């Protein structure tokens, strides 16, 4: 099964064989998270939740439904989302007086409560977050984890005394998301989206885009400064220290858990299947006994002893001692599931009281004494993480090309690269790139200043920005 | 604020002041879980999830929507739920070809996948669980946490080779739920529901009912044996060892997280507010410095030191050193939030390197040296748990009365008790109790055999069961 030859087929097979999601649910665009996949989702969510809560975000859970009138309050927001919401019109035998939508994102659910919770400057900043599913009636082709009509994410919403404080929170949000992706060993570009592609209702939007083997970038997180737009629409005001009523400044940010799982699979996986960073692996170590005639009992006993030692040491361990399957079959299975380290135990290991370790990312083997094995495996985890991170970043660097005219851009887009170009900032030139070479302007670097060194690639006029162009999910 | 005088008002105030849920969301029957409440919900879910996963249940997440045709497959099920489902009929500008419902429970979402996952007896038992929200268009009065149109629960679904193996799982389910409620120090009756009140599509249903201060029992969990009913409706078969195709036997069980939070509040709370068992308290210890002139700095420093020691010891601690509020205000606030132990620190404690501990359940005080304080607090936690558990069980026992004729039953129902009566088993007599004295038959003890000692309370005929009658949510 070759990942690079046919990514799409490889990806579907990994989803199925590693029990990530099942896409045979009988409603288009809705998938079932299976045991292994959902455990990974929970671990990603936990890493993020812990960082958000350290930064003072309270966990909340808002209703899944939003009444039509609240949804219609912010003009740009409704314009951006109304084409893709699911409508609940009836309940039991009755027609509802007020129609409800399934949340596509929760601003319009949350702001009516922000209005109640926020009275004075002492109530600010207010920061909340929730891990939940959201619903968008995608008309483009759906694809499990990348684009579904229901997806799993975490969304945070914050309110502040002024624009500047909200902007500090935007930076904090970017920092938190960077930390999450770093822990997952993922590479990414942090881009400020062009005006025409910002979140519906935002002052500006920042996004985390990452490469995908099929050349369509994957947006895994976004952070938005909403200015006073939503506060005005929902009348969210506070009394400042001088007694004056002022509008709050707000932000929101979302990290796509479904899409982040897709990125983990796509970046780290190989022809043997999934490769998981130890931090999110449901099981970090699999022990496979390799019995030989005359040593069956000794190997089995030692395997149980090893399992005890590693579990005691705080590792998530599974001992696969199923007598009906051969070691080779077990290797195949657990490589597919992406368990970071395999421990092989045969007569030689029993005798020397050692373990043979096989790391999943490189399939390299080494031996270590049982005494000190937990520490050795933890060191190996670090090496695996460093290797995965380095591979992912170096691939991102190699995906990025440069073009100084449309012909070069067309060629690089055909190679499915991410391309750096100079842009004048006009919608017309953006439109032209999209129509003539199928490239979308994803935005300009947010974390680093890049200055154009030549004219706009499309019109030849003065370039104001260096932007990244690619196909996208 | 007196809990016993006006439970309803007391409850609403605790929800609001302890930041459990906000019921001002602008859709009837839908509430917002706030920080403190949602943390409690997550901890309850975690306790349950851990027990389920130890027993081999895999965590999954199924879609929130179910297509109409799947929902209509099992005749009794649809009859039981169709009056209370929300219908999604449109998306974007389009009318959907197949209408979707919001899951009221997930059997009809899950069985189409069970059919795909189950091929052979080696695939059984299959056990999954999910923590999620479900939707029921309740026409009775809604009430936050007790009866909403959206509520938070965990549902488990299992498939087995035969009725007996499914029955073993039913017992396991009851055992797991009992453990959860025991950890939360809740008392309960385990009742087998009468035929007319079983889950739509079940062979039989077992329920956990608990007392409530207003006299309406609160069903916090149910466990159902589904026999082959759903397997036949969804054609879930497996090949047995002899090569024959057989229907699976299945079970499902749900624990209402929203209702369990309601029970925790209602059982353990007092006139000062919430009282939380330490195992689910978001913060288990609050440290309140009590500065006195000349000792401000010493008290502040020692408070930070104490916080460090207790946190290091693995306790969830909050140090409330807000200089703008007096200690009395802080006591009031954290009593409302139900933090199990308060640590008071003044000059005397600084000098003796001790802590004054105040336990939330009894408001009793004691002193302990800082050295060994973590252990002392853990012992106190155990005592608090034992006390809460004992109080809850003794209240349940005192709620239960006995009646041998309808007049006595009427009187006890007016006192809002739970009443043990003999019943012949006929629907007519059940109906009569409901109409004449407003008492619902909740069922017979499942965990203990009780033999009728007199005739049916309604018709005077031979009684087959001892049943418990009460008002109910």
Q: What is the 3-state secondary structure (H, E, C) of B274-335?
A: CCCCHHHCCCCEEEEECCCCCCHHHHHHHHHHHHHHHHHCCCCEEECCCCCCCHHHHHHHHH
pLDDT given for residue A4 in this prediction: 87
A204 bridge partner residues: A225
Give the residue from chain B lying closest to A69, CA to CA: B26
- What is the least distance, in Å, from the CA of B32 to any CA of chain A? 5
Cβ atoms A452, A422 nearer than 8 A: yes
What is the spatial distance between Cα B224 and Cα B301, in angstroms, rounded to a whole number? 56
ipTM, two decimals, is: 0.96
CB atoms within 10 A of CB A296: 13
Closest listed residue to residue A84, CA positions, set B94, B27, B89, B103 = B94
- What is the least distance, in Å, from the CA of B284 to any CA of chain A? 17
Strands laid side by side in the B94-102 sheet: A65-67, A94-102, A86-91, B86-91, B94-102, B65-67
What is the spatial distance between Cα A142 and Cα A153, in angstroms, rounded to a whole number? 17
CB atoms within 10 A of CB A175: 12
Interface test mutation site (partner A, options B19, B28, B90, max chain A beta carbons within 10 A): B90
Among B42, B87, B91, beta carbon nearest to A90? B87
- What is the least distance, in Å, from the CA of A194 to any CA of chain B? 25
List CB contacts (< 8 A) between A112 and chain B: 25-26
Interface test mutation site (partner B, options A21, A63, A81, A140, max chain B beta carbons within 10 A): A63
Among B34, B59, B65, beta carbon nearest to A38? B59
Residues 6 or more apart whose Cβ sits within 8 Å of residue B124: B118, B159, B160, B161, B165, B238, B248
Among A27, A87, A109, beta carbon nearest to B65? A27
Coil, strand or helix at A329: helix
What is the spatial distance between Cα B282 and Cα B34, in angstroms, rounded to a whole number? 12
- What is the least distance, in Å, from the CA of A137 to any CA of chain B? 6
Q: Is B26's CB within 8 Å of A60's CB?
A: no
Among B31, B85, B91, beta carbon nearest to A86? B91
List CB contacts (< 8 A) between B85 and chain A: 91-92
CA torsion, points B39, B41, B43, B46, in degrees to nearest 10? -130
Among A38, A89, A128, beta carbon nearest to B90? A89
What is the spatial distance between Cα A190 and Cα A176, in angstroms, rounded to a whole number? 13
pLDDT given for residue B140 in this prediction: 86
In this prediction, residue A368 has a pLDDT band, given cuts at 50, 70 and 90, of: very high
b/e sequence B245-261, b meaning 16+ C-beta within 10 Å:
eebbbbbbbbbbbbbbb
CATH of range B283-382; options 3.40.50.800, 3.40.309.10, 3.20.20.70, 3.40.50.300: 3.40.50.800
Angle at the Cα of B342 from the Cα atoms of B336 and B346, rounded to 5 degrees: 125
pLDDT given for residue B82 in this prediction: 86
Closest listed residue to residue B457, CA positions, set B417, B427, B430 = B430
What is the spatial distance between Cα A259 and Cα A472, in angstroms, rounded to a whole number? 13
Q: Is A59's CB within 8 Å of B67's CB?
A: no
- The kind and range of the H/E element at B168 are helix B163-183
Average of per-residue pLDDT across A147-173: 98
Q: Which CATH architecture has domain A7-268?
A: 2-Layer Sandwich (3.30)
Q: Is B137's CB within 8 Å of A92's CB?
A: yes
Coil, strand or helix at B9: helix
What is the spatial distance between Cα A305 and Cα A370, in angstroms, rounded to a whole number? 10
Q: At residue A369, does pLDDT exceed 90?
A: yes
- What is the residue whose two structure tokens read 């395999």? A342
Q: What is the pLDDT of residues A246-255, one digit of tens each?
A: 999 999 999 9
What is the spatial distance between Cα A90 and Cα A97, in angstroms, rounded to a whole number? 9
Cis peptide bond upstream of A125, omega within 30: yes
Q: Is A25's CB within 8 Å of B91's CB?
A: no
Size of interface A-B (CB pairs under 8 A): 148
List CB contacts (< 8 A) between A30 and chain B: 63, 65
CB atoms within 10 A of CB B301: 12
For residue B397, what are its two tokens? 């026992």
pLDDT given for residue B170 in this prediction: 98
For residue A415, what are its two tokens? 């190679």
One fold for A283-382 and A402-472: no
Closest listed residue to residue A102, CA positions, set B139, B133, B102 = B102
Torsions phi, psi of A244, nearest 5? -90, 145
List CB contacts (< 8 A) between A87 and chain B: 88-91
Coil, strand or helix at B417: coil
% of residues, chain A, pLDDT over 70: 100
Give the residue from chain A lying closest to B151, CA to CA: A63
Instruction: Please report, in tens digits, the pLDDT of each residue of chain B (473 residues total).
Output: 689 889 999 999 999 999 999 999 999 999 999 999 999 999 999 999 999 999 999 999 999 999 999 999 988 888 888 899 999 999 998 999 999 999 999 999 999 999 999 999 999 999 999 999 999 998 888 999 999 999 999 999 999 999 999 999 999 999 999 999 999 999 999 999 999 999 999 999 999 999 999 999 999 999 999 999 999 999 999 999 999 999 999 999 999 999 999 999 999 999 999 999 999 999 999 999 998 899 999 999 999 999 999 999 999 999 999 999 999 999 999 999 999 999 999 999 999 999 999 999 999 999 999 999 999 999 999 999 999 999 999 999 999 999 999 999 999 999 999 999 999 999 999 999 999 999 999 999 999 999 999 999 999 999 999 999 999 99
Please list the alpha-helical segments (H only) found in B210-285.
Answer: 229-233, 257-268
Give the residue from chain B lying closest to A111, CA to CA: B25
- What is the least distance, in Å, from the CA of B117 to any CA of chain A? 10
Q: Is B27's CB within 8 Å of A67's CB?
A: yes
- What is the least distance, in Å, from the CA of A100 to any CA of chain B? 9
Among B33, B116, B117, beta carbon nearest to A61? B33
What is the spatial distance between Cα A192 and Cα A442, in angstroms, rounded to a whole number? 8
Record: fold of A402-472: Translation Initiation Factor IF3 (3.30.110)
CATH 3.30.110.30 for domain B400-472, yes or no, is yes
Q: At residue A178, does pLDDT exceed 90?
A: yes
pLDDT given for residue A191 in this prediction: 98
Domain boundary assignment for chain B: 7-268, 283-382, 400-472
List CB contacts (< 8 A) between A145 and chain B: none
Q: At residue A48, does pLDDT exceed 80?
A: yes
In this prediction, residue A291 has a pLDDT band, given cuts at 50, 70 and 90, of: confident
CA-CA-CA-CA torsion sign (B276, B277, B282, B284):
positive
pLDDT given for residue B77 in this prediction: 82
Cis peptide bond upstream of B125, omega within 30: yes
Q: What distance lies between CA B174 and its chain's CA centroid?
A: 13
Interface test mutation site (partner B, options A82, A88, A95, A235, max chain B beta carbons within 10 A): A88
Cβ atoms B315, B342 nearer than 8 A: no
For residue B127, what are its two tokens? 């056990």
What is the spatial distance between Cα A79 and Cα A70, in angstroms, rounded to a whole number? 14
Q: What is the pLDDT of residues A434-463, one digit of tens each?
A: 999 999 999 999 999 999 999 999 999 999
Cβ atoms B423, B467 nearer than 8 A: yes
A95 bridge partner residues: A90
Q: Is B26's CB within 8 Å of A70's CB?
A: yes
pLDDT given for residue A204 in this prediction: 98
How many C-alpha atoms does A254 have within 13 Å on its Cβ side? Answer: 19
Interface test mutation site (partner B, options A15, A22, A23, A26, max chain B beta carbons within 10 A): A26
Residues 6 or more apart whose Cβ sits within 8 Å of residue A284: A278, A315, A316, A317, A339, A340, A341, A377, A381
């Amino acid at each position: 099964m070759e990942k690079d030859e046919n990514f799409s087929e490889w990806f579907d097979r990994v989803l199925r064989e590693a029990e990530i999601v099942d896409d045979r649910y009988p409603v288009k665009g809705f998938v079932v998270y299976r045991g292994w996949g959902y455990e990974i989702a929970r671990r990603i969510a936990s890493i993020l939740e812990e960082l958000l809560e350290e930064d003072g975000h309270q966990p909340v859970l808002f209703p899944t439904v939003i009444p039509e009138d609240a949804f219609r309050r912010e003009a740009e927001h409704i314009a951006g989302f109304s084409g893709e919401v699911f409508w609940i019109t009836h309940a039991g035998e009755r027609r509802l007086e007020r129609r409800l939508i399934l949340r596509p994102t929760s601003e319009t659910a949350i702001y009516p409560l922000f209005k109640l919770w926020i009275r004075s400057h002492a109530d600010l900043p207010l920061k909340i977050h929730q891990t939940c599913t959201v619903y968008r009636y995608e008309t483009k082709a759906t694809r499990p984890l990348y684009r579904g009509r229901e997806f799993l994410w975490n969304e945070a919403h914050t309110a502040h005394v002024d624009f500047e404080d909200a902007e500090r929170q935007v930076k904090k949000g970017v920092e938190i998301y960077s930390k999450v992706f770093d822990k997952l060993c993922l590479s990414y570009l942090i881009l400020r989206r062009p005006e025409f592609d910002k979140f519906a209702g935002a002052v500006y939007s920042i996004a985390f885009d990452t490469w995908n083997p099929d050349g369509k970038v994957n947006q895994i997180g976004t952070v938005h400064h909403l200015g006073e737009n939503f506060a005005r629409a929902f009348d969210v005001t506070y009394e400042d220290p001088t007694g004056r009523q002022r509008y709050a400044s707000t932000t929101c940010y979302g990290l796509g858990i479904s899409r982040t799982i897709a990125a983990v699979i796509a970046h780290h996986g190989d022809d043997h299947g999934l490769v998981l960073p130890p931090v999110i692996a449901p099981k970090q170590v699999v022990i496979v006994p390799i019995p030989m005639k005359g040593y069956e009992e000794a190997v089995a006993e030692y395997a149980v002893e090893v399992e005890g030692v590693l579990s005691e040491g705080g590792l998530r361990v599974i001992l696969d001692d199923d007598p009906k399957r051969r070691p080779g079959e077990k290797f195949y299975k657990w490589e597919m599931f992406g368990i970071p380290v395999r421990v092989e135990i045969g007569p030689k290991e029993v005798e020397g009281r050692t373990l043979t370790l096989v790391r999943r990312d490189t399939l390299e083997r080494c031996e270590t004494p049982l005494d000190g094995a937990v520490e050795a495996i933890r060191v190996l985890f670090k090496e695996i993480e460093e290797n995965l991170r380095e591979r992912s970043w170096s691939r991102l660097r190699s995906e990025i090309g440069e073009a100084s005219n449309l012909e070069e851009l067309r060629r690089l887009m055909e190679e499915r690269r991410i391309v750096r170009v100079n842009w004048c900032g006009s919608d017309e030139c953006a439109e032209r790139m999209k129509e003539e070479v199928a490239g979308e302007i994803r935005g300009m670097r947010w974390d680093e200043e890049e200055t154009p060194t030549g004219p706009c690639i499309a019109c030849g006029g003065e370039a104001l920005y260096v932007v990244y162009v690619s196909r996208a999910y």
